Amino acid sequence: MTDQNTQAKSLFHYVIRLNKEDSAFFYFQFEANEGLCFYSTLPFNPHDQFRDIDLKGDLRLKEQVDHVLNKCAEKFPLTFLVNEQLSFE
């Protein structure tokens, strides 16, 4: 199996925590970069001052997603709660 085939059967998976007030900018960046990954906000309590965001995407796009995340991290703190690779057959 080639490395490209392995990548085609793999996803990156992040869960990122950020401050509630930074979430609108974060969502805007991923809307502007449509198609890089799937993301959703995990359940939260209305008074929580943070948001946890689940991101999954094709491993071949991970470098581009990491670039967007690094640019966001220059503006506000991001905490990676999950950083893994998911494989499937």
pLDDT (tens digit, 9 = 90+) per residue, 36-48?
A: 999 999 999 999 9
H helices of the chain, in order, are 3-8, 23-32, 62-75
- The DSSP H or E segment spanning 41 is strand 38-41
Q: What is the pTM of this model?
A: 0.86
Residue 85 confidence class, pLDDT cut points 50, 70, 90 = very high
Assess whether pLDDT exceeds 80 at residue 5.
no
Give me the mean pLDDT over the 30-55 stretch.
96
pLDDT over 90, % of the chain = 87
Residue 21 confidence class, pLDDT cut points 50, 70, 90 = very high
Angle at 22 between CA 20 and CA 24, to 5 degrees: 95
